[in-house]
Every structure is written in C-alpha cells, then in structure tokens.
Amino acid sequence: MGIEYLILLLLVFMLFALLIAVEARDLLSSVISVGAGGFALSVIFLLLGAPDLALTQVVVEVVALVLLIRLVVTRHDTTAETPRDALRTGVVLLAGGVLLVGVFVAVGGTGAAGTVPRLGEPVMATADLAAGQTTPGQPVAARYLARAGEETGAANAVMAVLLDYRAYDTLGEATVIFVSILGAYAVLRRIGRRGRKEATI
Amino acid sequence: MGIAIYVLAFSVLLVGLYAVVAKKNVIKVIVGVLILDYAVNLVLVLVGYRTGGQAPILENGQSGAELAARAVDPLPQAMVLTSIVIGLGLTAMMVAMAIRLYEKYGTFDMNRIRSLRG
Amino acid sequence: MASIVPLMVGLPLGVAFAVVAMAHAKPLKRLTGLVAVLAVLLNFAIALALLGADVPRIFLGGWGPDPARTLGIEVLCDGLTKMMAVTINAVALVSLLFAGAYMRRFTKVWLFQALFLLMTGAMNGVVLAGDLFNLFVFLEIAAIASYALVAFGCESEELEAAFRYLVLGTIGSAFILLGVTVLYSVTGQLNMAAVAGKLAAIGPGPAVLLAAAALIGGLALKAAMVPFHAWLPDAHPSAPAPISAMLSGVLIKASGVYAIARLIFNVFGPTPQYAAILIVLGAASMVIGMLMAMGQWDLKRLLAYSSISQAGYIILAFGVAAEVLSRATPDRAVAGLCLFGGLFHLLNHAAFKSLLFLASGSIEQQVGTRQLKEMGGLTRRMKVTAFCCRIGALSIAGVPPFNGFFSKLIILLGLAMAQQYVLCAIAAAVAVGTLLMYVRVQRYVLEGPPGDRVARAGEAPALMCLALVVLTIVCIAAGLAIVPLREHLLGPARDVLLNATNALSMGAMP
Amino acid sequence: MTSGMTPIVKNTARLVSGFIAIFGIYVALTGHISPGGGFAGGVILAAAAVLIVLAFGRQTAEKMITESGCHLYDAAGAAGFLLVAVFGYLAGGFFVNFLARHGVGTAGRFWSGGTIILSNLFILVKVAAGLAGAFLALAAFRRAHMPDGHPGEES
C-alpha cells in the first residue's frame, strides 16, 4: 500500500509541474517544468515495476529537453502573449468533464465485469496458465512471463516481448524514428522549390 | 486509492489536451503534445501494474512460473517503450517545424502567424 | 503464398532505407527514383497475385497460436485487406510515376521518394494489421510521413498547415492508443480476433464503450469526419500534387475509413449505438463537406472539401449496414448492398479523386495558378489534361456511365431498401449538389476563352499525362467492369464485413 | 556557436562523452538480461554526440560527426534490423528468431536470446546515428535570420 501513496504524491507533483508548464508566461520555465514532470513520470515508472521504461524515459527526456531548451533560448520571442482561446477552453473543459465521468464509470473501482480492473489487479492475473485447448481467450501476458526465459532465452521479459514475440511492432518503432528524422530533414531544407528565393517576413 | 490514481492520470491527459487545443503558442502546443504522451503512457503502465509486483525480469534461479505469479505485466511496458519512441520522433519533428515557422514569421505566436499570413 | 504477405510492408520500408543510403553514393544517386517505382510496382504485383490466393492465417515470428492464446502478431490477408492493398498500391504507383516529372522542381527529391515509400509501406501495414497495437504503430508511421510530405515545399503556408495537421493528428493518435489500452485492460489481448471473441463473451460494459468512443473519435479525426475535419482543407492542398492524391485518395481511407470499418464490424460487432454514431458522422460530413466545397475558388481546396463529402458517403453506407445488421432479424442482402456500395465508392473515389488532384497539379505547374477564375479554355491548350480532368469531374459528379454514378446509385438503393428514406433523400440531394459543383468547375477550368496565363501554357510532360490517362482508364473501366470487380475484389471484401465478429477467426490455421 | 564553450567545458565534455558512449553501448548490449535495450542505449550514445556538438560548436563537431555519415548509419541500422527479420525466412518465416533454433542459451547469461542481441545492436546504431544527425541539422538553424547569399541546397 505504501508504494501507492508515494505514486499518488508523485502524480500530484507531476500534475502541478505540468499545469505550471502549460500556464507559465515565460516559455523557458514552461519547457523546464515539463521536464520536471517527465522526470517525475520516470520515477513513477520505476515504482510501478518498469525499470526499462524509467531508464528510457529519463534519457529521452534529457534529449527532448535539450532540443526544446535550445529552441527557446536561441530565439527572441520568449513569452506567450495571448493566454488562451475562450471557446476552445470551454470545449475542452466540457469534453474533459465527460471523459472523467466516463473514466469514473469505466474504472469504477469495483472490479465488476465490463469495467477496467482495479489498480494492482491486472487482467493478466486472471490467466490460467494450465488452460489448454478448451478455454480460449486467456490473457497472453502471463504466458509471456512464464515461458519467455526458455522460449527466447532473454531474462528480461520486456525485451523478449519487444524483440522476439512482437518484433514486427519494433520494426515499426524503428521505422517511426527513421521517418520522423527524415521528416525533420525534409522540413529543414532551406529551399523547397527550385528557382524561388527564400522568403522571410 | 486505485481510482484516485487513475483519475489523476486522466487529469494529466486533460491538461495536455487543454494545452494543445486552447493554447496559441507553438512551444505551448509542443509542451501539450509531450503531456498527452506522458498521460497515455502512464495509463498504459498502470493497467499492467500488480500490487507489490516485481519487474518482469528473471532473477537468478527463479522459474518462469514464479515470475508469472509475481511480476507486473510486460506487454504494456513493451507498448509504452514503442510509444515513448514515437513521442521522441514527433518531438524532433515538431521542433524542426517550430524552427522553420519562427524563421519564416519571427514569432511563436499562432495568432500573429495567422495575421502575418493575411 | 502466405510467407510473402509481410513483404508488402517489408519491401517498401527496406527500399526506403536503401534510397537514403543510395542518395549518399554518387553513382547510385540518379537511380533512386527508378528503384522506388520498381518497389511499388513489385508491391502492386504482390497485391494482385494475392487476390486469387486462399491464404491461411499468418502469425509472424513463428509464434503460432494455440486456441487458448495468440502469442505472435497476426497479419491479415482476407478479402477486405486484399482490396485495400490493391487500391493503395495502384494509386501509389500512379502518383509516383506522376511525381517523376512533377517533383523535378523540388530540392532533395530522394527525401521525397524515401518518405513516399515509407508512407506507402505503412499504409500497407495498416490494412495488413491483425493486431490492435500493430495497427496503431503503422497508423503513426503513415501519419508522420504525411506530416513531413505536406510540408515538403517548405513555404510558409505549407509549414503552418503541416504543423496544424501534426498537432490534430497527434490528438487522434493519443485517443487511439487510449482506446487500445482500455480494450487491453479488459480483455488481456491485442490480437483482433481474440479481442472480438473475448468481447463477445463478456458483453458490453462501460469500459468497452469508453474504448469504442476513444477509438472512433481518434479514427474519425484521421478520416476527417465532420466535427474533426479542421485540418484537412489546409493540409491536403498544401502538399505537392502527388501527395495530395495519396492523402485524399488513399490515406484518409486506409487510416480512417478502413480502420473504423474493421474495428466496428469485425472487433466490436455492429450495434445500434455504433451504427448511429457512424450515420451521424457520415451524413454530417457528406452535407457540410459539399456545402463548404461549393464556396471555394481554389481548385485544390475545393477538391479537399469534396473529399470530406465523398468519405461521408462511404461512412454513411457502412453505418446503415451496421444498423441493418444489428436489427433483431438482420436482412443480410440489404446490409450487403450497402457495404458493397460503400466499398465500391471507396475504390472509385480513390481513382477519381487522385485523378483530379494530379490533374490540378499539372494545371498548377503549367498554368501557374490554382484559382478557378484565372483558368479557362484549358481544352485548347492542354488537350490530354483537360480530357482527363473532364472524365474525372464527370465521374465524381455521378454522371452515367462513369464509375461514380454506379457506386452512388448502389448506395442510394441500399439506403432506400434499408428504409432509411430521409438519409436516402439527403444523399440524393448531396449528389445533385456535387453534380452542380463540378459543372461549375468544368465551366471555369475547361470552357470559355483562354485567360492570359492559359494562353501561354503548354501540355504537361509525357510522364504526367501518362499517369492521368491510366487513372482515366480506371475511371471508365470501373464503371463498365462492375461484375468482375464484384466477383474478385469487392465481393470478398463485403463478405468480411458482413460476417462481423466471426470474420477474423474464420481462416484456416497454419 | 562557431567557437563553442570555454576550455573547461570542452575538456570535461571530451572526457565525459567517452564514458557516456560506452555506457550507451553497454545498456544496449545487455538489454536482454537487464533493463535497457537498443533504444535507450542509442539515445544515450546520441546524447554523447549532442554533448560534443554543444561544447565544441557545430563547425568543430562536424569534423567528427558528419551529417551524411549519420544518414548512412541510420539507414544501415534500420536495414540491418529488417535483415534480421528477413533472415527469419531461413528458419521458417518473417521475423522468426533464426539464431534460436539450435537452443536459445540459458536465460540470464550474456550469450542467450538468439537474435535479440543482434536486433539491439542494429537499433543502437540506428537510433544513435539518427538522433545525432537530426541534432546536427537542427543546430544549423540557430540564427533566426540567415545572412543573404548563403550557399543553396544541393539537390
């Protein structure tokens, strides 16, 4: 139970940091606050039993922060002048209320059928590993955990899932980063069309 | 307890949504996209959490069945790893676009960008 | 046969990596375009070869299923997937040929070729995906490639349109992933067939509804259905013409319409609620897209708004089919007719909308404008382009005997037979409006005395004309060859949707 | 950013970046037995490159890390990972773990997991090269307004 309170505390911290990031007038403080939120998230990942994610989140956060801080500090326009769009804020608040009510109903906390299971009791825990051919629809994750070591030879079940059972997804993942970097190159060409002067306002 | 954590995670999602939709500054919008990513990743990991669960890595001498009875769900973690990568790729691309937009218009303010365009 | 199916994704991705490497080696640099065309051609050949084949279920990585659980990622190869794959690769091939001449004005064309191949490969991945998370990953690749391609010209408006497209697309993706998460938390599965089976067992609950809402919302954003359409009229016209053709012709269908249909019919199973959502989205898109298009004077913007309207037809037809299927005593013949009309319109729209966007690219390059008022008299100066443009406009306007007429007629018939008379009347009214709109386009673009700019223009390069002529032939042939099309392409695709939640687990096990 | 930062920063960066790079490679290569993996390792390796670019300035850094080199390694890493998938046809199909057919080794030992080490290695190369290249390209756009007469893009 103790860990859950810690997570709750970190989440509250994270929410505040992110609210500051969204509302701060100064763009640099906004970017740094979102970094603080990201680091809190990586600690939460660690507490939730996901060291792979914690490590990845930290290093990604560092690189993303470097990119963003560089973007902001080397430009002159450093404050957000116009705060918000009233109509859109209203729409978001309305949608948000509906979403939160939906979540409350869907999660429920009762663990009844047709709702999201209670925190700490993942659907995987209902798996019957010995279930053979007769009971279809067993959650796959328990099977990954039980047999990953012998079937793939990887002690780290996350890597076994990522690079063996579901390696095709990881091909997609590698391609995503390839695409977005190519996309960044494409956008950064100074001249897109031949015979046209670079126009700046 | 559990529901409070879920509600907070979805509040983070709302903060991100609010920043992306209602804010009129390129940097704020990028920040909003990052926050949206955080929130979805967090929900995904929460879904696979088991109370007091161990990380899904075999310890010395541990059998698979023991791991299956104690560890958290590895599948959402693999999904989140992919999702984090997608987020980083998107960030790089958004930064590139923000640089070009600033270069063209001299501002990060979307309203001024629009009015400059006429 | 089954083993080559994943190559439809692997080949374009691999060639895209190779194109990037080749661009940095002097002697190979000139060959990138040729290699890209060959890759797409080969992909099209694979898609055609698979049409007749009866393929068992495919699980990647050798992780075959036992009935209790599905370990590996499944790749689908049923009728619907085959039809989408043929459409995607055909439009990609023609657009890439067109780009061979059109993209000469742009710098660093190899980047364009690599991104184009990655987008095509990812779209193939989307229609092949038999796994919810895999679907999301390939949706993301296709979307990110399209963000970059919209901004490929690097002009101010293009960058701004691409940024807005990126931001809205990201919201859509976040909701799609959220939907997948909630579904996983309830079922413990990611495989679509397994999720469908599990959902049928546990019945509808609040969590399932939340997942469905998130997924439909996110995918409707990708498909630019009306409350979520804000990005499309900026993004599609900003892209280079071959990319506009790809985006309007196949991307919004593969990553929006197809994914919605696949999930609603084959995973969630059609219910009255989902049907109502689809009908509202479809009807609203149809009407509002058409009305917005009427007021446009920019040719590409007009075409973009018209894409929203035409995609609305498809979604409306699917929605009515879902409604019919969810009745107490479903009339499968009527539902089948609606589905057939929707799928046929999807195919036809891919043909004529990419034709019109490519033609607008030719005109823009030769005449130097996109404004309707500055054109006119194109029939005298650019005979081939004008002829193709005329056929395309007649097709989309629904004039017999072209393909658009037949698909709209079938949809109207289906709506009438499903006793949805109001929807049928709306659809008919929109069809008339579309007809009037494209009559106006023809009058301004093709007829009348040539304007100053047009008088100086010449015919477009041969490669561009070739691409237009190919699509024109498709437009004419699809209207005439409706019976063989139904036999080999559309019929199997319709059956997949008709079989609802049973469709995915019906294939033979490997 | 022509001159880079002060000598203290440069010396520290020179020292530290090597350690960071080694740590990145370590994280990638032991991904199958401990937390980490090719992606995290690749980002760490790229962070070493970012450090060098930041400390020494773009001009100096480009002598060590060139943009076209990054493109090449980026493409090679991605293609390598795809090749791992295609080599699976030797063992039965796309993405079959072809090294694991003759036993996968004991879980927990370094030599285990078949193609997982190989995949991690390729992803490391891909991600590191890609991110480093992207950072170089982004760093080129430091000044908002470029002086006139800058060299045009080669096609």
Instruction: Report the pLDDT value the prediction gives residue A118, as an integer from 0 to 100.
Output: 82
Q: Indicate if the alpha-carbon torsion angle D101, D103, D108, D114 is positive or negative.
A: negative
Reduced to 3 states, what is the DSSP secondary structure of residue B108? coil
Cα–Cα separations (whole angstroms), residue B96 to A70, B26, C152, C249, D54: 12, 12, 13, 28, 17
- Residues C460-474 have a mean pLDDT of 93
Report the DSSP beta bridge partners of residue A120: B50
Distance CA C210, CA A100 (A): 11
Q: What is the 3-state secondary structure (H, E, C) of chain D?
A: CCCCCCHHHHHHHHHHHHHHHHHHHHHHHCCCCCCCCHHHHHHHHHHHHHHHHHHHCHHHHHHHCCHHHHHHHHHHHHHHHHHHHHHHHHHCCCCCCHHHHHCCCCECECCCCCHHHHHHHHHHHHHHHHHHHHHHHHHCCCCCCCCCCCCCCCC
Structurally, chain D folds into a number of domains equal to 1
* Residue B44's CATH number: 1.10.287.3510
**Interval C76-134: pLDDT, tens:** 999 999 999 999 999 999 999 999 999 988 988 999 999 999 999 999 999 999 999 99
Instruction: Report the pLDDT value the prediction gives residue D2, as an integer from 0 to 100.
Output: 46
The beta-carbon neighbor of D95 closest among C14, C23, C60 is C60
Q: Is residue B60 part of a domain?
A: no
- Measured CA angle at B83 (ends B82, B84), to 5 deg: 90
The beta-carbon neighbor of C18 closest among D79, D92, D155 is D79
Cα–Cα separations (whole angstroms), residue C390 to A99, C441, C474, C478: 48, 9, 14, 16
CB contact at 8 A, C106 and A194: yes
- Measured in whole angstroms, the distance separating CA D53 from the mean position of its chain's CA atoms is 15
Structural domain of B33: 2-52+65-117
The beta-carbon neighbor of A149 closest among D107, D123, D131 is D107
Give chains near D: 3+ CB pairs under 8 A: A, B, C
Distance CA A179, CA A187 (A): 12
8 Å CB contact of A190 and D146: yes
Phi, psi of C131 (to 5 degrees): -145, 135
**Residue pointed to by tokens 């998460």:** C181
Residues 13-32 (C) with a CB less than 8 A from some CB of D: 13-14, 17-18, 20-21, 23-24
Distance CA C295, CA C76 (A): 42
Q: What is the 3-state secondary structure (H, E, C) of chain A?
A: CHHHHHHHHHHHHHHHHHHHHHHCCEHHHHHHHHHHHHHHHHHHHHHCCCHHHHHHHHHHHHHHHHHHHHHHHCCCCCECCCCCCHHHHHHHHHHHHHHHHHHHHHHCCCCCCCCCCCCECCHHHHCCCCCCCCCCCCCHHHHHHHHHHHHHCCCEHHHHHHHHHCHHHHHHHHHHHHHHHHHHHHHHCCCCECCCCCCCC
Q: Which of A173-182, C336-345, C364-373, C444-453 comes out lowest in average pLDDT?
A: C444-453
Structure token digits, residue D112: 């285990």
Say yes or no to pLDDT of D147 above 60. Answer: no
Q: Is residue A101 part of a domain?
A: no
Instruction: Report the pLDDT value the prediction gives residue A81, as an integer from 0 to 100.
Output: 65
Q: Which DSSP symbol is given to C27? A: G
Structurally, chain A folds into a number of domains equal to 2
**Interval D128-143: pLDDT, tens:** 999 999 988 888 776 5
The radius of gyration of chain C from alpha carbons, rounded to an integer in Å, stands at 22
Instruction: Report the pLDDT value the prediction gives residue C223, as an integer from 0 to 100.
Output: 93
Which has the closest alpha carbon to D42: D128, D116, D130, D131?
A: D128
Phi, psi of B54 (to 5 degrees): -90, 160
How would DSSP label each residue in C46-65? Answer: HHHHHHH--PPPEEGGG---
- Which residues on chain C are in Cβ contact (under 8 Å) with D95? 6, 60-62
Cα–Cα separations (whole angstroms), residue C13 to A170, B67, B117: 13, 37, 37
Structural domain of D113: 7-139
The beta-carbon neighbor of A113 closest among C68, C72, C205 is C205
- Which residues on chain A are in Cβ contact (under 8 Å) with C505? none
Burial environment of residue C212 by CB neighbours within 10 A (0 to 12, 13 to 18, 19 or more): buried
Reduced to 3 states, what is the DSSP secondary structure of residue C460? coil
Nearest chain A alpha carbon to B113: A201
- Which residues on chain D are in Cβ contact (under 8 Å) with A66? 50, 54, 135
The radius of gyration of chain A from alpha carbons, rounded to an integer in Å, stands at 23
- Which residues on chain A are in Cβ contact (under 8 Å) with D152? 190-191
- Measured CA angle at A150 (ends A148, A151), to 5 deg: 65
**Interval B54-109: pLDDT, tens:** 899 888 878 888 888 889 999 999 999 999 999 999 999 999 999 999 888 888 88
8 Å CB contact of B18 and A92: yes
Reduced to 3 states, what is the DSSP secondary structure of residue C106? strand
Q: Is residue B46 part of a domain?
A: yes
Phi, psi of A139 (to 5 degrees): -55, 140
- How would residue D151 be classed by pLDDT, with cut points 50, 70 and 90? very low
Distance CA A69, CA A95 (A): 32
Say yes or no to pLDDT of D146 above 70. Answer: no
Instruction: Report the pLDDT value the prediction gives residue D115, as an integer from 0 to 100.
Output: 82
- Which residues on chain D are in Cβ contact (under 8 Å) with C60? 93-95
Question: How many CB atoms are closer than 10 A to CB D69?
Answer: 15
Residues in chain B: 118
- % of chain A with per-residue pLDDT over 90: 38
- How would residue C235 be classed by pLDDT, with cut points 50, 70 and 90? very high
- Which residues on chain B are in Cβ contact (under 8 Å) with C184? 47, 75-76
Instruction: Report the pLDDT value the prediction gives residue D144, as an integer from 0 to 100.
Output: 43
- Residues C478-507 have a mean pLDDT of 88
Is residue A121 less than 8 Å (CB to CB) from chain D?
Answer: no
Nearest chain A alpha carbon to D75: A178
Q: Is residue B105 part of a domain?
A: yes
Structure token digits, residue C497: 């949707």
Nearest chain C alpha carbon to B118: C157
The beta-carbon neighbor of A48 closest among B24, B49, B99 is B49
- Residues C46-50 have a mean pLDDT of 93
Q: Is residue A18 part of a domain?
A: yes
Residues 56-115 (B) with a CB less than 8 A from some CB of A: 56-58, 64-65, 67-68, 71-75, 77-82, 84-93, 95-100, 102-109, 111
Q: Is residue B107 part of a domain?
A: yes
Look at residues A78, A105, A128 and tell me which one is the last residue of a structural domain. A78
Report the DSSP beta bridge partners of residue C435: none
Distance CA C492, CA C317 (A): 17
Q: Is residue D129 part of a domain?
A: yes
Instruction: Report the pLDDT value the prediction gives residue A200, as an integer from 0 to 100.
Output: 43
Q: Is residue A10 part of a domain?
A: yes
Distance CA D120, CA D115 (A): 9
The radius of gyration of chain B from alpha carbons, rounded to an integer in Å, stands at 20
8 Å CB contact of B99 and D35: no
- Which residues on chain C are in Cβ contact (under 8 Å) with B21? 171
Half-sphere exposure of C98 (CA within 13 A, CB side): 33
- Which residues on chain D are in Cβ contact (under 8 Å) with A76? 144
Q: Is residue B19 part of a domain?
A: yes
Say yes or no to pLDDT of C204 above 70. Answer: yes
Top residue of C185, C216, C365, C501 to mutate, by most chain A CBs within 10 Å, is C185
In sequence order, the 6+-apart residues with CB closer than 8 A to the CB of C295 are none
- How would residue D110 be classed by pLDDT, with cut points 50, 70 and 90? confident
Instruction: Report the pLDDT value the prediction gives residue C90, as an integer from 0 to 100.
Output: 96
CB contact at 8 A, B44 and A30: no
Phi, psi of C69 (to 5 degrees): -160, 155
Q: Is residue D29 part of a domain?
A: yes
8 Å CB contact of A127 and C188: yes
Instruction: Report the pLDDT value the prediction gives residue C460, as an integer from 0 to 100.
Output: 86
Q: Is residue D66 part of a domain?
A: yes
- How would residue C380 be classed by pLDDT, with cut points 50, 70 and 90? confident
Nearest chain C alpha carbon to B87: C170
8 Å CB contact of B92 and A67: yes
Q: Which DSSP symbol is given to B55? A: P
Distance CA C20, CA A182 (A): 9
Reduced to 3 states, what is the DSSP secondary structure of residue B50? strand
Q: Is residue A146 part of a domain?
A: yes
8 Å CB contact of D105 and A189: no
Is residue B87 less than 8 Å (CB to CB) from chain C?
Answer: no
- How would residue D150 be classed by pLDDT, with cut points 50, 70 and 90? very low
Dihedral angle at the C-alpha atoms of C209, C215, C221, C226, nearest 10 degrees? -30
Structure token digits, residue D22: 């080694």
Structure token digits, residue B30: 């990028």
**Interval A113-139: pLDDT, tens:** 678 888 888 888 877 777 655 667 788
- Contacts by residues A9-13 (CB-CB < 8 Å, ≥ 24 positions apart): A10/A40, A10/A43, A10/A44, A10/A47, A11/A40, A11/A44, A11/B5, A11/B8, A11/B9, A11/B12, A12/B8, A13/A40
**More confident position, B2 or C41:** C41
Distance CA C67, CA D70 (A): 46
Q: Which of A21-30, C60-69, C200-209, C333-342 comes out lowest in average pLDDT?
A: C60-69
- Measured in whole angstroms, the distance separating CA C238 from the mean position of its chain's CA atoms is 18
**More confident position, C240 or D97:** C240
Q: Is residue B103 part of a domain?
A: yes
Q: How far is C462 from chain D (nearest CA, A)?
A: 23
Say yes or no to pLDDT of A38 above 60. Answer: yes
Q: How far is C433 from chain A (nearest CA, A)?
A: 32
- Residues D49-66 have a mean pLDDT of 84
Structurally, chain B folds into a number of domains equal to 1
How would DSSP label each residue in C158-216? Answer: HHHHHHHHHHHHHHHHHHHHHHHHHHHHHHS--BHHHHHHHHHHH---HHHHHHHHHHH
- Contacts by residues C36-39 (CB-CB < 8 Å, ≥ 24 positions apart): C36/C96, C36/C113, C36/C116, C36/C117, C37/C93, C37/C96, C37/C97, C37/C100, C39/C11, C39/C12, C39/C15, C39/C117
Q: Is residue A167 part of a domain?
A: yes
Look at residues A31, A55, A78 and tell me which one is the last residue of a structural domain. A78
Structural domain of A30: 1-78
Distance CA D39, CA D42 (A): 5
Instruction: Report the pLDDT value the prediction gives residue C474, as an integer from 0 to 100.
Output: 93
Cα–Cα separations (whole angstroms), residue C267 to A107, C130, C224, C261: 21, 10, 22, 9
Q: Is residue A109 part of a domain?
A: no
Structure token digits, residue D9: 């920063």
Distance CA C358, CA C374 (A): 19
Q: Is residue D146 part of a domain?
A: no
- Which residues on chain A are in Cβ contact (under 8 Å) with C67? 133-134, 136
Instruction: Report the pLDDT value the prediction gives residue C333, as an integer from 0 to 100.
Output: 93
**Interval C382-418: pLDDT, tens:** 889 999 999 999 999 998 889 999 999 999 999 999 9
8 Å CB contact of C206 and A102: yes
- Measured in whole angstroms, the distance separating CA B85 from the mean position of its chain's CA atoms is 10
**Interval A40-73: pLDDT, tens:** 999 999 999 999 999 999 999 999 999 898 888 8
CB contact at 8 A, C299 and C363: yes
Report which secondary-structure segment, H or E, holds C273. Answer: helix C272-294
